[in-house]
Every structure is written in structure tokens, then in C-alpha cells.
Structure 1
Amino acid sequence: MRLLFICSRNINRSRTAEVIFRNKPQFEVRSAGTDETARITVNAGHIRWADLIFVMEHMHRRMLEQRFSRELFGKSVIVLNIPDAYYFMDDELVNILLERVSDYIEL
């Protein structure tokens, strides 16, 4: 299963998610950001590639819907409700990601 994690700048939240889930053999994982200054900016190819898309906040979902409505057709976009209050690989962030994502996929 191909998982895509999205936040604003792809520095802390989505990048942390990519690191913790990419070591699981049942997943291919990528991450990106919605901001033009993101480390990796999400594009239509990312959306087409993904089987399941996780965004950190509702605003990320809205941005994807505005920019990639055609590519999102038939895709599941899940809002994890994780605010931009954590650093890369923060222990609390890792625990929150594991808990919330496990509601949607078997780890």
C-alpha cells in the first residue's frame, strides 16, 4: 500500500511520518508539503501515486481539493488533526502518528 503524508512545509510532521512508516515492509511511503517553500512540494504525481493520503490539518485537505480535484477522485484523504507544534521525530509526535494512523491501517 502506498501512503502519502502531507503537512505545510514537509519539515516536521509529514517527514516524521515518512520516516516511521517507511520501515514497514507492507508500505511504500512518501511525504510532501502544500507550501511552495516546502522541502518537497506536493504535486499531481504524488496524488496519483498514493493509495491513501494523510494530511495533518483540514487546511491541507482543502488545499489539495482546490489544486488536485481531478487526481483526488476516488482517493481517501484522512485528516489526522495534528497541529504544527512538534519538531522532527519528536517522541510525542511519533506516538500521536502511530496511534492515529493505526485507526486506518494495520501496522
Structure 2
Amino acid sequence: MPRVLFICSRNRLRSPTAEHVFSTVPGIETDSAGLAPDADCPLSADQIEWADIICVMEKRHRTQLAQRFKRHLSGKKVVCLDIPDNYQFMQPELVALLEKRVSGHLR
């Protein structure tokens, strides 16, 4: 069962939406976190170690992730979804974009 971790900046809009959307997919476990110091759920090394696939929303998130958690990323698949911070939680356009960009990585 793949474990998918979704990461954005503050864990308020994009990554919680992704966690919610994919939590209903059979055979997949999800979690989400943020990289900013004021994130609702700040990213931890334990979350990275738990994950099989890590989906970041922007290229800068991938860079920050590599800088802060490099030693925990060995063997992890890190995917950049290229989804800007222009959406609200569970906004239909965000959900559609997530479904389009994430689904191929879950096979």
C-alpha cells in the first residue's frame, strides 16, 4: 500500500486538499504537511521516513525539502506537481488538477 505525503508551504489549502482527495482511494495512505515555520502541521523527519511518495506543490518546495531533510530522502520518490498557491481548500479546480497530476504516480 503506497503511502503518499503531500507538502506545500503552510499546510492550509493545497496539501490538505490533496490528502483529503486521495485518502478515499482504496489501497493508499495519505498525510500532509507544510514547510513554513507557521504551517498548521510542520513537516517532520518521521513523516518523510513514513512516505513512499512525496508530492510537493512547487519547485521551491522540492529545493527546501532537499536542503532541510536531505539525509531522510534516500530512496524516496519526490514529485513536483507544479501547482501554484492560487486555490482555496477543496476548490473544484484544485481537486481536478490534483487528480490529473497525481494519479499517474500512484500506479
Per the normalisation by structure 2, the TM-score is 0.97
**Amino acid in structure 2 at the alignment position of 1:49:** W
Aligned to 2:105, the other structure's residue is in SS state coil
Aligned to 1:102, the other structure's residue is in SS state helix
Partner of 2:37: 36
Matches of 1:76 and 1:59, distance apart in 2: 16
Q: Which runs of 5+ in 1 are unaligned?
A: none
Partner of 1:100: 101
Aligned to 1:29, the other structure's residue is in SS state strand
**Amino acid in structure 1 at the alignment position of 2:54:** I
Aligned length: 106
Matches of 1:14 and 1:58, distance apart in 2: 14
Aligned to 1:31, the other structure's residue is in SS state strand
The answer on 1:68 being equivalent to 2:63 is no
Partner of 2:50: 49
Residues 20-46 of structure 1 show CA distances to partners (whole Å, capped at 9, x for unaligned) of 001112111000000010010001001
Q: Which runs of 5+ in 2 are unaligned?
A: none
Aligned to 2:104, the other structure's residue is in SS state coil
The answer on 1:91 being equivalent to 2:92 is yes
Per the normalisation by structure 1, the TM-score is 0.97
Partner of 2:11: 10
**Amino acid in structure 1 at the alignment position of 2:92:** D
* Cα RMSD for the two superposed structures: 0.7
